[in-house]
Amino acid sequence: MPVIAVVDYEMGNLHSVCKGLEKAGATPNVTYSPKELEQADAIVLPGVGAFDPAVQHLRARGLEQPIKEAIASGKPFLGICLGLQILFESSAEGIQPGLGIIKGKVRRFRPEADITIPHMGWNQLEMTQTKSILWEHLPSDPWVYFVHSYYVDPIEEQIRAATVTHGTQTVTAAIVHENLMAVQFHPEKSSNIGLQILSNFVAQVREKIPA
């Protein structure tokens, strides 16, 4: 089975992510070792919490450059929730610079009379990259589970793989660019749909492993 490094920087629901990856047919390895990130077949960057502590913890553990190098090398990479947001240049949630791997900013939902912030619970995806491997074997407009007050706003619109609408605001829910994939929702909390998304990611990892 492919070995997938799950990055431990004290900001993720590691147990649920690992269980999801195991069900999807992978061997998760929770680690903050740059060497183990390099040796893994793929990397998952989970995240729950605030932007500034997340990037501070990553940098304190010397993980910023190894993550950038892994993505640049073509290794399959999946960011989840906060693990999507910290790939961007900056966030309205804090003052620390993000990793800057993706051009754009993280913005806060505008208050509206009929919406709650955070955006929490089940909502439907609208696919904007219908041929992405992440969406294989899924129904149209699948329901997935969100918990977030902030959303990513990429400069390059073509990397947007799915959107979600909360109130009158339609925002980016997932990005895909070559080997780099990241989602705002929680696949590990999204029942069978989330498991299929993780299985699709693992299938892509298997394709990358030399025979």
Which residue in 57, 137, 186, 207 is the catalytic one? Answer: 186
Which residue in 64, 69, 81, 126 is the catalytic one? Answer: 81
Among the residues of the chain, which ranges form H helices? 14-23, 34-39, 51-60, 64-72, 82-85, 191-208
Q: Which residues contact 152 (CB under 8 A, 6 or more apart)?
A: 84, 85, 88, 102, 104, 105, 106, 107, 171, 172, 175, 184
- DSSP annotation string for 51-101: HHHHHHHHHHTT-HHHHHHHHHTT--EEEETHHHHTTSSEETT-SS----S
Which residue in 36, 64, 188, 207 is the catalytic one? Answer: 188
Question: Which has the closest alpha carbon to 71: 175, 171, 158?
Answer: 175
18 given a catalytic annotation: no
Omega prior to 118 cis, within 30 of 0:
yes
81 given a catalytic annotation: yes
* Catalytic residue set: 81, 186, 188
